[in-house]
Amino acid sequence: MEIRSEIDPRMSRYVELALKHAEEIEADYVIVDMDTYGGIVTDAKDIVERIMEFKKPVWVFINNDAASAGALISIACDSIYMAPGANIGAATVVTGDGEAAPDKYQSYMRSTMRSIAEEKGRNPQIAEAMVDETIEIDSISKSGQVITFSTSEAIKYGFCEAKMNSIEEILERNGVENYELTTYHLSSTDKIIAIFLNPVISGILILVIVGGIWFELQTPGVGFPIAAAVIAAILYFVPYYLTGLAENWEVIIFFVGLLLIAAEVFVIPGFGVAGVLGILFTVSSLVLVMLNNDAFDFSFVPFGTIFKAVIVVMTGMLGSIVLFIIGGAKLATTSAFSRFTLTDTMEKKSGYTSNFRKESQMGKTGTAYTILRPSGKVMIEGELYDAFTGSGYIEKGSNVVVIREEGVSLKVKLSE
């Protein structure tokens, strides 16, 4: 398997799948082709646990760099081989902006490096000194510098078995003959999943999610918009969930947000706390699933990554609004739109009317049967009619006069 990029949830998933594949084909050995400057400690720890639980020998070939989290993974392997000019070490934990993380994180990394080194028969003090610059080891490291070994130094101090130029040399050194070398690559499905992790694709999916929900709320019962939104939500959340970026609670608050928005629209009059919280939960969920935060701890998430996630979500949401403003107006003029909507106008000159009254009520007087604020009922000549006022309200029992007829309703005012 090849670890040739940043250690993150995607790499953790790749290693998990690679080791599972090695079990399926009954591989005799696993070789990690390593070249990385490190990455996220928690994901590196997950990789380490999988490697150490694997029942067959796992060797690592450092063909260039095994820094930080890469050094941690390398030390967890059964044997370490390094190419000429390669390096291992510099495992100090840093935050998203590149500064050294607080001591609690350094302490965790020191403890992890020490215990794994002990387990694999390597010097635990040297492993700790790869993290902590305050640890001084005679003739090896000075105070103020973390240990980074070259190939020859790593061999000298027991952190490398031998200098090798290729994986084939490693196999030959260990007497492995008549072998079939298989390089693990992601399946087509996992490659598709990786495509959906692209920020551009994520932005388009957010556009469909927001747009579909909005359109369904405006025209309930159509079905297609909400179906499109559901499919887009699945395509958005599932890849992030499989790679370990989306936590269960982040997905849950998205649906809680949708429920609050629906309650505001269909149950609670006006637009208040439920609506605001619904929008806040929904937007926050869409942003958080893109970030590898640890329960709102963003210490190891670069600011640029946070900024990009916010921009992607906001662009998708604004894009959906623009699409419906511009696209909605154009859609109404298309022939396809006219096939499933009522576009005919029933003109009065063609004989159409909404007035069921046999005679005009214009100018007639009566009384307010209910309070009109501004609409209600009036009694005129023993008959009840729907009525409304132009402004204000009229108390029940007040005398009114009809000043205009509008469809099935009468516009009235207080009679003098």
Q: Which residue has the tokens 């084909």?
A: 25
The yes-or-no verdict on residue 379 having pLDDT over 70 is yes
- Region 1-23: mean pLDDT is 91
Which pLDDT value is given to residue 8? 82
The yes-or-no verdict on residue 354 having pLDDT over 80 is no
Determine the residue type at 149. F
* Better pLDDT: 162 or 305: 162
pLDDT category of residue 348 using cuts at 50, 70 and 90: low
DSSP character string of 218-272: HSTT--HHHHHHHHHHHHHHHHHHHTT-S-HHHHHHHHHHHHHHHHHHHTSSSS-
pLDDT in tens, 79-138: 999 999 999 999 887 766 667 777 777 888 899 999 999 999 999 999 999 998 888 888
Q: Which CATH class name applies to 2-173?
A: alpha beta
Burial class from Cβ neighbours inside 10 Å (0-12, 13-18, 19+) for residue 131 reads buried
Which pLDDT value is given to residue 158? 94
**Residue 341: φ, ψ to 5°:** -130, 155
- Region 278-295: mean pLDDT is 80
- Cβ atoms of 29 and 63 within 8 Å: the answer is no
Which pLDDT value is given to residue 305? 72
pLDDT in tens, 333-347: 666 555 555 556 666
Q: Which residue has the tokens 């009566």?
A: 366
Helices (H) and strands (E) in the chain, counts: 14, 12
pLDDT in tens, 26-69: 999 999 999 999 888 888 999 999 999 999 999 999 999 999 99
Domain boundaries defined on the chain: 2-173, 194-336, 348-414
Which pLDDT value is given to residue 114? 94
pLDDT in tens, 206-230: 888 887 777 766 666 556 777 888 8
The yes-or-no verdict on residue 325 having pLDDT over 90 is no
Distance CA 128, CA 140 (A): 13
Which pLDDT value is given to residue 378? 92
Could you confirm whether domain 348-414 is CATH 3.40.50.720?
A: no
- Region 167-180: mean pLDDT is 95
Distance CA 47, CA 9 (A): 10
pTM of the model: 0.63
pLDDT in tens, 247-277: 888 888 888 888 887 777 667 755 578 878 8
Distance CA 138, CA 147 (A): 12
Which pLDDT value is given to residue 375? 84
Average model confidence (pLDDT) for the chain?
83
Which pLDDT value is given to residue 319? 77
pLDDT category of residue 156 using cuts at 50, 70 and 90: very high
Strand partners, 88: 66, 149
Most confident region among 42-46, 69-73, 296-300 by mean pLDDT = 69-73
- Region 2-13: mean pLDDT is 88
Most confident region among 28-42, 275-289, 306-320 by mean pLDDT = 28-42
Which pLDDT value is given to residue 195? 80
Which pLDDT value is given to residue 171? 96
Most confident region among 65-74, 223-232, 324-333 by mean pLDDT = 65-74
Which pLDDT value is given to residue 352? 56
Distance CA 79, CA 173 (A): 12
Give the 3-state secondary structure of residue 201: helix
The yes-or-no verdict on residue 164 having pLDDT over 60 is yes
Lowest mean pLDDT among 19-28, 120-129, 194-203, 279-288: 194-203
Chain CA centroid to CA 330, Å = 32
Lowest mean pLDDT among 58-62, 91-95, 179-183, 393-397: 91-95
